[in-house]
Structure 1
């Protein structure tokens, strides 16, 4: 059974139940995620004993706001549209990823998942050699990409095919507002001679990004280039803490099969799709233990370069 056949098998009542959004469920989950960032950030600012160690969990909490941005781009974490938009803006700002631009990018990814030449995620190939793997996991390429996207969009040079021509001015304005806000924060820190943002945001984000890279690689890495969402996406079984941190996105094949299902209903959707899933993994360590041995030797560079 492919995802289209599966969706056709659902009753109208099942569809209504699965796609029911909730401000209460969304806000409760949001309070835990933002609460963790605020708590650890406060401990860092207070410089409690061994406070530098806290920058790692702070970074993990911060970079995994990407999964909230992703969810909010579907308008599913909350019933209220304005809440989805607001949370996407905050999450995008903290992860240097413009939310409006990302929404267009992500919708193209859903429409053409694992279709070479059409899925924008495939524009950056998955690592095939050890050097590529280590560079990918470092997170530096993604930071460079995010900054480049912001600068290019702010300059009015967005030419991404997935961004409608009529929406490019809005994408430009979004990037300019984000860059302006970053500059204002920088100037404020310089005026106050305060390094607080370095310790509670910048360095933690750099430390946390490798964990997000390892997590995201499992979503489609080594999956088939086919249209069936139950085969081109991977569901990874993991513990409750990781599922909570990632807004239940480890149920990734389920999400791609039925993207309007909110995060808190994905476990219910999984019960219905479990027997039809083609690609699953018992954990992220297990995925990388299988992925790594398939990597080739160090990537050879052209001597003429």
Structure 2
């Protein structure tokens, strides 16, 4: 089982008293391969990817404004989902300040990338995602961790897991309310994100109609929901290999269109290195990654998650020791990697 039981048949997350694994591995890799420091930096060309994906989504939304509904949905599944998912990855890069030197430019680029994604989320993602890196698995700090009631509600039924993936964005929206003691839900940039997003979607509906808006909405839900791309959320931190490895990478063909987002262990180990250089981390430090579990097919993982009774929303590692997380972060021996990482973050 990927979850444990405490009393009777009560299911729980896998609880750990250990610090998350990435800080320790970062220290080991830097000791073995100090040349990896040279990969730290930014990739401003990611902004061109943002512009391309926005053009694709707006162009298709306009082209499909008078099309049959089935064609709108098909285009959203086969094309729009991929464009939207790539925009999510670009927002992720912006959250780590991996496009431009100035944080404000990264924030603005993230808000721009958010436009075809229908719902304002870029600024909020930036705040909560950095906490996910620092406090992986800590329920009070990591918005990537499911609620306990969420895991209990869905459990391990195929239908429940399908519904969970289909409406995954809705579950994500609720999780930040768990972190309100640590992170403010609204600030000035959040308001900017909301106002500009509402104006963009209002313009789409006003000038091009509901068919165009429906294409964007369907693209958004497919890109992170009941679609092979939605398996990314299972790949990253679910316990899928019958062991205690809580982060896994994906080394499949979709990395080419998803900007190497599948290199998730590598990213967590070195969040200050941009997407285009993540494969170089694995190549340089192969002995540290070759023995880790990984995935090569999102489609296979999607079906396995849906129909494998041993996998459920409980199949996550949770921890409560925030103090140990902070201490372990502070104890990383390589000052160069810490200083460079802080400069980028």
TM-score, with normalisation over the residues of structure 1?
A: 0.73
Q: CA deviation at 1:31?
A: 4.5
Structure 2 matches for 1:114-129, cutoff 5 A? 114-115=137-138, 118-124=141-147, 128-129=155-156
CA distance in 2, matches of 1:248, 1:49: 33
Provide closer, same or farther for how the CA distance between residues 90 and 78 of structure 1 changes in structure 2, counting only shifts above 3 A.
same
CA contact (8 A) 1:248 1:263 kept: yes
Structure 1: state its 5+ residue gaps.
Answer: 153-157, 300-305
CA distance in 1, matches of 2:249, 2:218: 31
Q: CA deviation at 1:86?
A: 1.9
Choose which of 266, 291, 302 in structure 2 pairs with 1:254.
Answer: 266
1:110 corresponds to: 133
Q: CA deviation at 1:67?
A: 1.7
CA distance in 1, matches of 2:175, 2:312: 29
Choose which of 141, 144, 161 in structure 2 pairs with 1:133.
Answer: 161
Provide closer, same or farther for how the CA distance between residues 191 and 37 of structure 1 changes in structure 2, counting only shifts above 3 A.
closer
2:216 corresponds to: 201
1:218 corresponds to: 235
Structure 2 matches for 1:139-218, cutoff 5 A? 140-143=167-170, 145-146=172-173, 160-163=180-183, 168=184, 171-184=186-199, 194-210=209-225, 211=227, 212-218=229-235
CA contact (8 A) 1:108 1:162 kept: no
- Give the SS at the match of 2:29: helix
1:236 to 2:250 alignment: yes
2:64 corresponds to: 44
CA contact (8 A) 1:114 1:232 kept: no
CA distance in 1, matches of 2:272, 2:200: 36
Choose which of 100, 106, 117 in structure 2 pairs with 1:84.
Answer: 106
CA contact (8 A) 1:64 1:245 kept: yes
CA distance in 1, matches of 2:236, 2:37: 24
CA contact (8 A) 2:120 2:197 kept: no
Provide closer, same or farther for how the CA distance between residues 268 and 122 of structure 1 changes in structure 2, counting only shifts above 3 A.
same
Whichever structure has more helix as a proportion of its residues is: 1
**Which has the higher relative contact order, 1 or 2, with Cα contacts under 8 A spaced 6 or more apart?**
2
TM-score, with normalisation over the residues of structure 2?
A: 0.66
Structure 2: state its 5+ residue gaps.
Answer: 1-23, 314-345
Q: CA deviation at 1:123?
A: 3.8
Aligned-residue Cα RMSD (Å) equals: 3.7
